[in-house]
Structures are given as C-alpha cells and as structure tokens.
Amino acid sequence: MAEFTEISPNASATAKVTNWFENRFPTAFAGYRTHMSEYYAPKNFNFWYFFGVLSMLVLVIQIVTGIFLVMHYKPDAAKAFESVEYIMRDVPWGWLVRYMHSTGASAFFIVVYLHMYRGLIYGSYRKPRELVWIFGCAIFLTLMAEAFMGYLLPWGQMSYWGAQVIVNLFSAVPFIGPDLALLIRGDYVVSDATLNRFFSFHVIAVPLVLLGLVAAHIFALHDVGSNNPDGVEIKGPNAPKDADGHPLDGIPFHPFYTVHDIFGVSVFLMVFSAVIFFAPEGGGYFLEYNNFIPADPLKTPLHIAPVWYFTPYYSMLRAITTEMMYVLIACVVAAGAFAVIKSRLPSVFKAGAAVATVVAVALMLAIDPKFWGVVVMGGAVMILFPLPWLDQSPVKSIRYRPSWHMWVYGLFVINFAVLGYLGTQPPSPIGERVSQVGTLFYFGFFLLMPWWSRLGEFKPVPDRITVPAH
C-alpha cells in the first residue's frame, strides 16, 4: 500500500482536495503528468498540429450525439426512417443533435485527412514513429467501417442502395464471395437483418475498437515523442537537455499547447456551428437529398454514389475495367522484368519474382475485373500501412527535401480530390479515363516512393529547433 503524502494544515482548500484525490488515485495524477504537464513537445508546432486534437474533439461529439440519437432511434426497417423524422421534427433540439452527428461525420473525415496529410509532409511516420502511424492507419480503417455502417441507419434511398451496391461487391470475391455477402447482409437483400447488424456494430462493437486504437495511438506517440515541422528529434540521446533532463527544444504540453489547442478548437467550433446552422446538408455532400426519401427496394435511384469521403476509393473501383486490366497487367510485367533483370536481388529471389509475376498475370486474366476493382479499392487504404518503409528519403520533413517534392505532394492531393469528385458523378467515358489515370498516379505515388523519394538535392537539417516558442 502506498504511503500518503502529507500537506500543510495551512494549505488552501483546493490544495487539500487535490492532495486527498492524489493520495487515493495516484495513477490518474501520474498519467496527467506523463501526458500533459511533464510531456515535452517541440516548440515549433504550427497550425497543422491542430488537427490531432480536433480529431479527438469530433470523436467526442460523435459519441455524445450518438448516445442521444440512440434514445429515440428505432433499428427496424419499418420504423427507422420515421424515427429519424421524429427526432428531426418532434424531439426537443433533436434536429440539432442529428445535424451535429451527420455533419460531424464529414468533419471527422476532413480533420483526419488533414491530420494524415500533415504526417505525410513532415515525415511523422518515419523512425521511431512507425507504430504510431500504423495505429493511425488502423484508426482510419476503423473509422471508414464505422461511417459505412452508420450511413445505412437513416434508411433513406441513398443509404439503402449505397449499402446494397457496396455489400454486393463482396460477392465478387472468388469461391467465398456470395456466402460472404450473405453473411454481411444477414439476408439475400439489404433488409431488417442488415439494419440490425449494422446498428449493433455502429453503436457498440466498432466504437470500442476505435477508442482502443485512439488510446494506443496517443500512448505510442507520447512514448517516442512528437515529431515537428523540422523533423528534428528533441528527445534523442544526443538532443540537448537542461539540468533536469528536459529537452531544450521542447516546452511542456500543458499549459502551452493546451492554450494553443483551445484557440484551434474555438475556430473549428465556429466553423462547425456555421455549417450546422446554415448548411447542414453541405450542398448535398454531407447529407444527400435522396436520403430524405424513405428506402424503396423497388425503385433504384438514377445514380448511386457513396458519401463524399468514400468517393475517391469508389472512383478507383469504377476505374478497373477490362481495358484497365491490360494496363495493370503491363505494369505487373514491367515490375517483374525489372526485378529479374535490373535489380541486385539474389538469383533465388529473382526466380521467385518471375514465378510471382506469371501467377499474378494468370490470376488477373482469369478473375473478373469486378473483383480486382474491390482489391484496388481496399489496396488504396492498405497501401498506407507500409509507408514508413516505402519512404527512403534521407530527411523527414518536406522543408529539407528538394522543392519539386512539394509539387509531387501537391499533385497527389489534387489527384485525390479529382478522384473524389468523379466518384460523386455518374459514369462517363471522359470521367472513366481520368479516374484510370488518377488511380495509376495514386498507386504510383506510393509504389515508386522508394525510388523518387531519394532523388534530388536535399537541404541540410539543423541540429536544433530555432523557431522561438509561441
């Protein structure tokens, strides 16, 4: 049993109460010191570092508003749409809670995409933060599952048919596809059984996984320390420290960055509130107009598209046609030929690469392109996980890379946005070609990164952070 810490009888009432709690719950106070008051962060954080705390804020908003929505929502195919209308029209402030939740889903993806882009340009996935990045990618994958399952719950036209299309994609998996789709739906079509399954996962199972991954992400980050725009390690064995062992290039997270984050949170809440009160549908992107029509299994909408944060991947899915398969086969053959002819791999590995190339080409010719579209859609997310090992640049931050690297990252963002826009539009010959080129660029950005990330003249990285604390 731990010994109690004594306090002066003349201490203030606040100090006495704090001492009383600390003696009885020392773990909480130790956690506060480890992750807040005694956690030293680099002193040159900029506005890109707002989006981590904003992601946590939106997660809290989603959980709290979700709890209030569940109080009135009916997970029944015959009553789900009406229960949402009841929340919007009759529950006091129900419209506000519903809009906070629906707009919050889009806000979640906006801040997460920006948070990931910050990690991309500043090399926050590089050693020793590989596990932090992997946890972050797992959070993103879990968030996509959570959003997809929640999207069905309003039981509107777009929710119903969007789920029908996406779940049917799993039937393209060879051998197990039809049974897998049946397992996900719980029926031969999207029905009441599907709604109940998705509701259970959306409300209970997936949020528990998400919270666990968020905790692991934060703990892993604080164990190795935060990255910064310069990519300079402030806590390494050679980093300068003061007499108490604290990094000279760091400042305590609390109170300096708590105040910093409060400013970012305030600006975000003003923008978030403006959207909720003046444009909660986001022009049909946050809430599609077809979703205000009850689900009708007998009436298919003219154009079925997922919500905007899934559309880049949906666009890649649609890009995989029979013609595109020949382009992909050519890419696989070229990669295999390079591995056999030009690489310095041992002969055994070269032989293995040749066999793998032949097998891959045979499978690509034998299996329906629809399946490979699903593979490409899933691969677009999974390719983020090995990023720490794909980037072979000698420096972390974009600040010290060749200037043309920033153009590559800029083109990547533009390409992703174009794919997202095309995913919201009906199929067209021009859109199909653009999405095919965009898909090749997206995967080429990552798969060729071991080559292009080493090219160019790199600037010298400073030994110390020179930006003053703010």
Binding residues, as ranges, are 101, 115, 202, 217, 222
Query: What residues are designated binding site for heme b?
Result: 101, 115, 202, 217
d(CA 253, CA 35): 8
Query: What residues are designated binding site for a ubiquinone?
Result: 222
Q: Which two tokens stand for residue 347?
A: 């002969």
